[in-house]
Amino acid sequence: GAVVSQHPSRVICKSGTSVKIECRSLDFQATTMFWYRQFPKQSLMLMATSNEGSKATYEQGVEKDKFLINHASLTLSTLTVTSAHPEDSSFYICSAPRGPYSWGETQYFGPGTRLLVL
Amino acid sequence: EDKVVQSPLSLVVHEGDTVTLNCSYEVTNFRSLLWYKQEKKAPTFLFMLTSSGIEKKSGRLSSILDKKELSSILNITATQTGDSAIYLCAVENVGAQKLVFGQGTRLTINP
């Protein structure tokens, strides 16, 4: 079964509003989670690394004031898209590594959240 | 800057054909290369490769890494319509502890 969940799976909002997306690790603790964005027919682009108990690390070109990340607990990270605009419409996926060593093989992806900003 | 390039970007074949997908990378402190299959939602893990020349196999899928050429291939034999998906290649970097993804190959299998 799923080990990482995301909520909501789909959201439609008006331009200018803020949207919060939750990512939860279901049966393990994740001190680190990753947030990706995927535009249609494109690959996953890492947006930021969410760190429990400290500030998130953002990739170059990603506005930290627009994409607020809060790693509230060892099983929950949230991504808030503030003042969303139509160009923010995308598929947002989180992932969490389960093991302490090889992060690749044990990286579990959430089912994704499809955001549509009107 | 770490970089992963996949080819082809798109491939359409008939059921029963064999396909080879390519992935090349430039990365510092290489740890592993991973292949994922993505249908409509989250990517699902296929293979992780760390050693050069050792083939990993799962049913009709197989993959191998060439560290000298900084590349990997993913083979799918006797393709089925259910193999239609985006195949993603990613590289894991020891230092950065994150995955860098390629653009993906969109594979379409026609009956």
Mean pLDDT per block of 10 residues along chain B (111 residues) reads 92 97 93 91 89 94 96 98 96 79 95 93
Q: Tell me the C-alpha to C-alpha distance, in Å, between residue B74 and each of A91, B56, B62.
A: 25, 10, 6
A110 in contact with B, Cβ within 8 Å: yes
Quick one: pLDDT at residue A75? 93
Q: Tell me the C-alpha to C-alpha distance, in Å, between residue B96 and each of A61, A69, A89, B25, B50.
A: 17, 19, 28, 15, 17
- Please give the angle made by the CA atoms of A93, A117 and A55, to the nearest 5 degrees: 45
Structure tokens at A19: 């949207």
Quick one: pLDDT at residue B108? 97
User: Is the separation of the CB atoms in A69 and A50 below 8 Å?
Assistant: yes
Percent of chain A whose pLDDT exceeds 90: 69
What does the alpha-carbon distance between residue B103 and residue B100 come to, in Å, rounded to a whole number?
A: 10
Mean pLDDT score, A94-100: 80
Quick one: pLDDT at residue A6? 96
A107 in contact with B, Cβ within 8 Å: yes
Whether A43 sits inside 8 A of B103 (CB atoms) is: yes
Could you give phi then psi for residue B32, rounded to 5 degrees? -160, 160
Structure tokens at B68: 């000298």
B65 in contact with A, Cβ within 8 Å: no
Quick one: pLDDT at residue A101? 55
Nearest to A88 by CA among A25, A27, A38: A38
Structure tokens at B105: 């190959």
* Strand, coil or helix: A79: strand
Among A107, A113, A114, pick the best mutation site for testing chain B contact (most B Cβ within 10 A).
A107
Comparing A107 with A92, which gets the higher pLDDT?
Answer: A92
- Residue A44: closest C-alpha in chain B: B101
Q: Which DSSP letter does residue A59 get?
A: P
Quick one: pLDDT at residue B99? 86
Whether A104 sits inside 8 A of B32 (CB atoms) is: yes
**pLDDT (tens digit, 9 = 90+) per residue, A15-40?**
999 999 999 999 888 888 999 999 88
Chain B environment of A111 (Cβ under 8 Å) = 41-42
B45 in contact with A, Cβ within 8 Å: yes
Whether A46 sits inside 8 A of B31 (CB atoms) is: no
Whether B99 sits inside 8 A of A46 (CB atoms) is: yes
A45 in contact with B, Cβ within 8 Å: yes
* Rg of chain B on CA atoms, in Å: 13
